[in-house]
């Protein structure tokens, strides 16, 4: 028997074909996120998984923004603490075009009845890197437009926090006065300087708003009046890392999951600050989706 897992976000879609042991047999990906084809969910999905369906695959677990209010089937968040079984318990089952579709919930961090933070999609990447038999806490970092830091203990997600890192970088680089002072010339030295500045807690360095303007001041002292975009990237990354550290009582070794180029930048920034970190599996979502498939609650009659 084969199974299909789908990680369907705002801007992209990844589909995985796995066997009943969780071995990845095939995968397809594209830019057909939910923002590109609103309402055409079934047609879009079948463009990716059609050949697998024709070969007999019928069970599909979907995660990401496809399960949001803007997606196919809105699925309520599961609250922390949550392991694979608890997340799977919250999946919503639908039948469509001869397929059994399972829509996975995201995760919500709730305190005193208030929702403080949410994840939708990244939980499958987190599950793909943990085991119920893991000993001790593990820190998982998922960089991106909205970077996520999550603590996992023995296969259970116990805490997470979101940072508007990538989106903030793009907004500042493209829509502020800094745009005219940034060059695309890569610079590891500038990146390191930015990380050090972003993570600095010296009173004289100020906070993020002052540090951002200080890049303009630095550019004035440079030939041509420009600095590398890597200086801004380092500043934003360093700020995120320092803010995350301030939220954590302990700092276990970290796994960085995501686009390999971006993940390598994060590893460099973490090591500059002194955080032990290693690269995770970019396709961990496939393993996480398989765990949800294994723990699904099959309705009577299936």
Q: What is the DSSP string of 98-127?
A: TEEEEEPP-EEEEETTEEEEEESSHHHHHH
Assess if residue 153 is contained within a domain: no
81 and 121 housed in the same domain: yes
Q: What pLDDT sits at residue 132?
A: 65
Residues of the chain with pLDDT under 50: none
The rounded mean pLDDT for the chain is 93
Return the CATH number at 223. 3.30.420.310
**Which residue, 174, 173, 274, is CA-closest to 231?**
173
The answer to whether residues 9 and 123 belong to one domain is yes
Task: Pull the structure tokens for residue 126.
Answer: 């987190």
Length of the chain equals 302
Instruction: Report the number of distinct structural domains present in the chain.
Output: 2
> Which pLDDT score, from 0 to 100, does residue 250 have?
85
Domain assignment present for residue 146? The answer is: no
Considering the entire predicted model, what is its pTM?
Answer: 0.92
256: which 2 tokens? 């960085």
Gap between the terminal Cα atoms of the chain: 15
Q: Which domain holds residue 288?
A: 2-128+284-294
> Is residue 77 one of the residues assigned to a domain?
yes
> What is the greatest pairwise CA distance in the chain?
73
122 and 178 assigned to the same domain: no
| Same domain (yes/no): 228, 270 | yes
Q: How far apart are CA 165 and CA 143, in angstroms?
A: 8
Is residue 59 in a domain? Answer: yes
Give backbone dihedrals phi and psi of 249, rounded to 5 degrees, phi first: -75, -35
- The answer to whether the CB of 18 falls within 8 A of the CB of 285 is no
Instruction: Report the 10 Å Cβ neighbour count for 122.
Output: 29
- The reply to whether 135 falls in a domain is no
Q: What is the CATH number of the domain that holds 59?
A: 3.30.420.300
């Amino acid at each position: 028997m084969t199974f299909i897992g789908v990680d369907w976000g705002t801007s992209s879609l990844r589909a995985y074909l796995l066997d009943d042991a969780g071995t990845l047999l095939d995968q397809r990906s594209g830019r057909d996120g939910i923002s590109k084809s609103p309402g055409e969910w079934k047609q879009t999905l079948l463009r990716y998984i059609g050949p697998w369906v024709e070969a007999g695959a019928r069970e599909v677990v979907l995660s990401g923004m496809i399960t949001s209010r803007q997606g196919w089937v809105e699925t309520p968040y599961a609250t922390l603490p949550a392991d694979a079984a608890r997340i799977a318990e919250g999946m919503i089952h639908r039948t469509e075009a001869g397929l059994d579709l399972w829509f996975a919930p995201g995760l919500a961090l709730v305190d005193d009845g208030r929702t403080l933070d949410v994840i939708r999609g990244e939980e499958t990447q987190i599950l793909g890197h943990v085991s119920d038999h893991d000993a001790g806490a593990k820190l998982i970092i998922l960089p991106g437009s909205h970077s996520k830091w999550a603590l996992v203990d023995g296969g259970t997600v116990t805490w997470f926090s979101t940072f508007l890192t990538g989106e903030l970088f793009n907004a500042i680089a493209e829509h502020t006065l800094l745009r005219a002072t940034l060059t695309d010339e890569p610079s590891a030295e500038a990146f390191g300087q930015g990380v050090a500045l972003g993570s600095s807690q010296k009173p004289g360095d100020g906070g993020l708003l002052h540090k951002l303007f200080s890049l303009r001041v630095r550019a004035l002292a440079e030939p041509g009046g420009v600095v590398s975009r890597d200086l801004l990237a380092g500043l934003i990354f360093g700020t995120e890392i320092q803010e995350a550290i301030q939220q954590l009582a302990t700092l276990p070794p970290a796994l960085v999951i995501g686009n390999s180029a971006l993940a390598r930048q994060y590893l460099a920034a973490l090591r500059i600050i002194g955080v032990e970190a290693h690269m995770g599996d970019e396709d961990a979502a496939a393993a996480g989706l398989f765990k949800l498939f294994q723990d699904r609650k099959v309705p009577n009659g299936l």
